[in-house]
Amino acid sequence: MTPTATTLGTSRFLKQRWLPLSALLLGALLTLLSSASDAARDNERWARGRILVQAKAGMALPDFDRALKRHLAKRSGKRVHGRGAHIVSLPLGVSEATAADLLSRDPAVEFAEVDRLVEPEGITPNDPYFASAWHLAKIGAPDAWTYSTGAGVKIAIIDSGVDGTHPDLASLLVAGWNFYDNNSNTADVYGHGTKVAGAAAAVSNNGAGVAGVSWQSKIMPLRVSLPDGTAYLSAIATAITWAADNGARVANVSFQSAAGSPTVQNAASYMKSKGGLVVVSAGNSYGFEAFAASDSLIAVAATDSSDAKASFSSYGAYVDVAAPGVGIYSTVRGGSYGAVSGTSFAAPVTGGVIALMMARNPALTPAQIESILKSTAVDLGTSGRDDYYGSGRINAAAALQAAGGNPPPPPPPPPTGGGSGGGSSTTATISATLPSGQSSAAAGSTITANWSNISNAASTNWIGLYVPGAASEDHKGVWMYLSCSKSAGVALASGSCQFSLPSTLAAGTYELRLHAPSSWTSIAKSSTFIITSSSSQGGSAPTLTLGASTAAAGGTVTISWSGIDTPSPYDWIGLYLPGASSSAHNGAWIYVSCSKNIASASASGSCPFALPSMLAAGTYQFRLHSSGSFTAIATSGNLTVSGGASAAISLTSNSSSVIRGSALTLNWSGIVPASPSDWVGLYQPGAAESEHNGVWIYLSSCGKTTGTSRSSGSCALAIPTSVAAGNYELRLHLAGTWVTAVRLGSMTVQ
């Protein structure tokens, strides 16, 4: 029988719609499970018809597509941020939750999750006239501001938008994006984002409103929320990546459960690779959250004014640190102010501290910043890390102290010489005016610094006190911006400032240096002048003694001190080569608390001092410094160190001469254990460790980003044409410190 047209059409249709039996059975199973699975999660909401799936690293797209097909899913052609999770489509009627669960167990898949709609946290406004910013004093923000107010750092507020007309926010906003409407309108549609932005960075010192933590940072508003304040995880992750690609160094995400999303964590890892950090709120569930710890972002719990965990604050293994989150006075949409509570506001308080650290020391890596944030936190609850407070409640003052060069220095910093902005005029002048009728000034007294003729003056031009010939970093702990404080103010082409000289300052000859904006480049020096000993020091001078005159690298020596007239918890001891610059302390130093954590002041005491295992054999000395500065108030006798593991390290080059614009080939071996942060720098003989002419590389990557540890290998070191001709040496440093394991001298640059 000849088939009819109708029969043929049916036959073709059946062929086109044919599916393997296994797929039909899976589809039936997914459909059956759909109602049960969704009912079990009826308190959650997510996008229908799509899920988020990340393929295993190295997985080819055809193989990934076959894995998706096994679960009736297919790629939509879109990814969360061009590199992250795929947005995967599901057939009508298939449970998103069940499909994500099954796909997460597939060997081709790294993770799969529903595209949840997450809620903003902490919308609990209190008295609108509440004016006691207790949280700023609690974290030591006023002391932290003597080091940094966050200038130059962009903070992305990934939220419901920001009120761009608010008087405490308007001047800080930079271009952002609206990921909900896909346009540039970032106005706050819900009110949450404006409060978060104010907690992080509201304008301060303006005679009105509130003070944000990092009040000279810029705010990048990124709207991800629906009009009701909720947001999809995919939008949050996309915004994080956009922020990283558009210059943000900090991104704040204050949404419930975002900390546990692998899609968000994936985007946070991308931002970390670009030099930024993502801060997320721990949540306001009043209970335990089973999220795993992640090193890609910083999850923040909330504390109250008594340093107790806020009752609403979620807790678990994922919590990194805690921060004030109860009664935080902030900006409110419409131009007003109010007190708010929630981990939503503990997160931006933490983000603000991170921005301060980044502004103080732009050379710090995200990992270093996170380490400092945790190591300087105030330990609460159970000793050590716990699920309620993480590493502890953040301490801005201690974090900012540790983030700068006083001590420790960054390992290694950006090239010396040359900050951004103006102030490079060679016609600038500076002078020091001593007390009337005197030819010298006593330590503890005040002198006046006068300057003029700075062309293109900037707010971060600064003046420091130096011994003539000292390294640029060795400013005796006495410096200020032209605002006459350690907070950057307005740009001043000419003016004067009062300098208070520390009472512990050693008698001798000094000079003032005027520097280009935020750099070590000196654009003018004063004439030299004399400082005499302070008449108020009284008593005997401080002493520093050793328990032994010899030790092995990797061993321990006992150091004792006494006679500190005005002890400070920031007094510290460093290990030096005799005659080295104060900033070149070989990466080995401690506070008088006998650790790198700040504790109480101590006029006298003793500490065990662990010598680095990689310390080169030679003669060393210890120096006792005053109050977190490079002002040495006592020096020990000499310590003879016998070689440790560094004795076996070698460094050679393919030539003892190199032409500017070409490269040297470096060969090294014997670094055990090797670190991704081992590095080599080019130096003028006798220069301080921090003055490496801007020419340096990590050995792990042969570049300025870390790679995989290598105990031996070869690298090309490019010599820019900007390097002056002359004699140089190469120094191999260990584990991102100033510890020099080996020097290669007699290098000629032509």
More confident residue, 556 or 128: 556
Entry pTM: 0.49
Structure tokens, 148: 């940094």
- Choose the CATH number for 36-116 among 3.40.50, 1.10.20, 1.20.120, 3.30.70: 3.30.70
Q: What is the pLDDT of residue 408?
A: 33
Over 302-371, what HEC string results? EECCCCCECCCCCECCCCCEEEECCCEEEEECCCEEEEECCHHHHHHHHHHHHHHHHHHCCCCCHHHHHH
Q: Please check the confidence at residue 38 and state whether its pLDDT lies above 60.
A: no
Identify whether 143 is a catalytic site residue.
Answer: no
pLDDT band at residue 259 under the 50/70/90 scheme: very high
CATH architecture of 649-749: Sandwich (2.60)
Return the CATH number of the domain spanning residue range 429-532. 2.60.40.2840
Show me where the domains of the chain are located.
Answer: 36-116, 134-403, 429-532, 543-645, 649-749
Question: Where is average pLDDT lowest: 318-322, 413-417, 431-435?
Answer: 413-417
Q: Please check the confidence at residue 44 and state whether its pLDDT lies above 70.
A: no
Identify whether 192 is a catalytic site residue.
Answer: yes
> Catalytic pick from 234, 281, 330, 344?
344
Q: Please check the confidence at residue 101 and state whether its pLDDT lies above 70.
A: yes
> Catalytic pick from 159, 168, 188, 304?
159
Q: In the 8-state DSSP scheme, what is residue 440?
A: E
More confident residue, 425 or 395: 395
Count of positions (residues) in the chain? 750
What pLDDT, in 10s, does the model give residues 509-532? 889 999 877 666 788 899 888 888
Structure tokens, 446: 């005040």
Equal fold, 429-532 vs 543-645: yes
Q: In the 8-state DSSP scheme, what is residue 645?
A: G
Identify whether 159 is a catalytic site residue.
Answer: yes
CATH 2.60.40.2840 fits 543-645, yes or no: yes
Question: Rounded CA gap, 682 and 686, in Å?
Answer: 12
What percent of the chain stands above pLDDT 70? 81
Q: Which residues contact 679 (CB under 8 A, 6 or more apart)?
A: 412, 696, 697, 698, 699, 732, 733, 736
pLDDT band at residue 58 under the 50/70/90 scheme: confident
Please answer whether residues 92 and 49 qualify as being in contact, where contact means their C-beta atoms are separated by less than 8 angstroms: yes
> Catalytic pick from 81, 86, 192, 733?
192
Q: Which CATH class is domain 134-403?
A: alpha beta
Question: Rounded CA gap, 377 and 139, in Å?
Answer: 9
Question: Rounded CA gap, 584 and 574, in Å?
Answer: 9
Nearest alpha carbon to residue 51 among 78, 70, 25 = 78
Element (H, E) at 511: strand 508-515
| The amino acid at 103 | L
